[in-house]
Structure 1
Amino acid sequence: MRIAPFPLALLALAAGAVAMPMPGWAQSDPAAARLIEQLRPRAGGATRGIRLPSAPAPGAAAEAAPGAAPAVPAPPPVATTQRPAPRPPVVPDTTAPEGVAAVSITVTFPSGSATLTPQAEARLAPLGRALSSADLAPFRFLIEGHTDSVGDEAMNLDLSERRAAAVRDYLIRQFGVSGSRLQAVGLGETRLLVPTGDGVNEPRNRRVQVINLDG
């Protein structure tokens, strides 16, 4: 009797050897794909973790087998005075509220200017591709401009507003993102990503933060 060949694809699935590949566009544009994942609305609900076996209650004795030797108690733990090395402080990714889909992008401008440099446009290009993708098309976004603490507070606030507007205009002009989906606001030095004193030149604070308003 002749046995019909089993499809190779089903054989592979049965063996658990088939891995789902990334979409072709994501492989060629990983920066935009990463931003899409960061800016998707985050699903709510509790996370289901792996339930580990529970430890026996303190003082509970295990039932001994007949004829078994009595259990010898374990020696008490030896106290140690060695302390773990202090960990460096962790800088958060954004100053957005917890659970809100957001991303911060460091954008370079000439000192005192709201004109985007070629380097700034290169940093913003993946964001433009992400926001114009079908994955993020249904959502609206807040474009926040932030500065470091160098200079006058009022001047930094005005500068951050103009820079946020420049980023918004660039995304509309170069990537066709609808202006109705983008709202620009400047926050100056009021929400520093890296807390510093006045007059500190901290590049990570000179950034644009993008927040999903529908997430």
Structure 2
Amino acid sequence: MTSPRRPAVALIAALLALAPTAGQAFEPAMPAPVDALESEVETHGSYDLPTGPFAAGALPTRRFEGAVDRRAYRLEAPRATLLDLKAPLRDQLVAAGFDILFECEARTCGGFDFRFATEVVPEPAMHVDLGEFLFLSAARGDEAVSLLVSRSAGAAFVQVIQVGPVQPGAEVDAAAADATAPDQTPSLPERPPAPIVDAAAGPASSAAAVRLDAGLPVALDDLVFASGAAELEPGDYPSLGALADWLAAAPARRLILVGHTDASGSLAANVALSKRRAEAVRRALINDLGVAPGQVSAEGVGPLAPRDSNQTEEGRRKNRRVEAVPAST
């Protein structure tokens, strides 16, 4: 991960000084200072570009194949609106010859369903507020770009996924460049990534509250469900107490409880099981800890948002969880 900090105006000016060339990769100039950048390049891959809102249980997509570049930017933009961030990037795409295929905001995209049906760089590199995000997809011949813009309480996040033809000799050139070219990009000391907090570890209430106040999810890793069952095992769960304390401090606060499973079994069965587990957690918060019903809702995404590999038992165990996600108020 690199963390470049460059004046946004200078970057945009440099971009506008270059005339777009057919086949030239899109290089976005961020409209605010970049605090952190995570990038992953897949030389031969594919990307299902969303071309419409999630509706009738499905997300319409168009598959593009080739070199896939996935980037997640964290921006220092405490006062910028999501439209302030998206509009300059949209203008750059149009100037580079891309046709805008689809644009939406959280509700018109399909909200929760859209977010979990499309590809998103994992936390903490990319944060998506389920009630406040913007999306755009664009194409130029056999190239495609998507933009996803959201924010937490303290930062803005922009995801750019780009796919295009593999250039001849790209793998050889990239390897040679890594071996011989010094890194000329000025960088800041990296911030240690903020992992999804285990709200049962340490001072649970304060650890969870810090995460939730920042608009980030909290994994309730102390919960115990019987194998294949949706009901919570009897016990004292500090993570639920932490959530109840956070909600009690401000009646306007809302949480979405999101159930997750590993990839074993059918998708439909796992999605149903994950939602039932989230609903069981919601009932425990309401019935046992006095949380107002309107402050918590329950959803399930099955295996669609793993945080580890499903190829190992340890990874599958980590993927079986319920997370608390702050919702916009």
TM-score normalized by structure 2? 0.35
Amino acid at match of 2:271: L
- Cα distance, 1:196 vs. partner? 2.6
**Does residue 35 in structure 1 map to residue 208 in structure 2?**
yes
The aligned residue for residue 118 of structure 1 is 234
Task: Measure the CA separation in 2 of the matches of 1:144 and 1:158.
Answer: 12
Q: Percent identity?
A: 30
In 2: Cα distance, 1:115 partner to 1:173 partner: 14
Provide Cα deviations, 1:148-197, integer angstroms capped at 9, x if missing partner.
Answer: 11222211111001101000111011111111111100100111111335
Amino acid in the other structure paired with 2:228:
G
Look up the equivalent residue of 1:202 and give its one-letter code.
R
Instruction: Return the structure number with greater relative CO, CA threshold 8 A, min gap 6.
Output: 1
Task: Work out the CA distance in 1 between the residues paired with 2:283 and 2:207.
Answer: 23
CA distance in 2, matches of 1:172, 1:155: 26
- Once residues 201 and 118 of structure 1 are traced to their aligned partners in structure 2, the CA distance between those partners, rounded to angstroms, is 25
Residues 40-88 of structure 1: per-residue CA shift (max 9 Å, x gap): 1x3xxxxxxxxxxxxxxxxxxxxxxxxxxxxxxxxxxxxxxxxxxxxxx
Cα displacement (A) at 1:127: 3.1
1:127, 1:157 → 2: CA distance? 26
Does the residue aligned with 2:220 lie in a helix, a strand or coil?
strand
Q: Does 1:146 align with 2:286?
A: no
May I ask how many residue pairs the two structures share in their alignment?
A: 127
Aligned to 1:160: 274
Per the alignment, residue 175 of structure 1 pairs with 289
Q: Which has the larger radius of gyration?
A: 1
Relative to structure 1, the CA distance from residue 187 to residue 123 in structure 2 (aligned partners, 3 Å threshold; closer, same or farther) is farther
Segments of 4+ in structure 1 off by > 2 A? 123-133, 195-201
Equivalent in 308, 314, 322 of residue 194 of structure 1: 308
**Take 1:131 and 1:168, find their aligned partners in 2: how far apart are those partners?**
15
CA RMSD of aligned residues (A): 2.5
Task: Specify whether residues 32 and 157 from structure 1 end up closer, same or farther in structure 2 by C-alpha distance, changes over 3 A only.
Answer: same
Whole-Å Cα distance in 2 between the matches of residues 198 and 30 of structure 1? 30
The answer for unaligned runs of 5 or more in structure 2 is 1-201
TM-score, structure 1 as length reference: 0.52
Q: Distance in 2 between matches of 1:200 and 1:154?
A: 23
The one of 94, 108, 112 equivalent to 2:224 is: 108
* Runs of 5+ unmatched residues, structure 1: 1-28, 43-99
Q: CA 1:202/1:123 → structure 2, altered by over 3 Å: closer, same or farther?
A: farther
SS of equivalent to 1:209 = strand
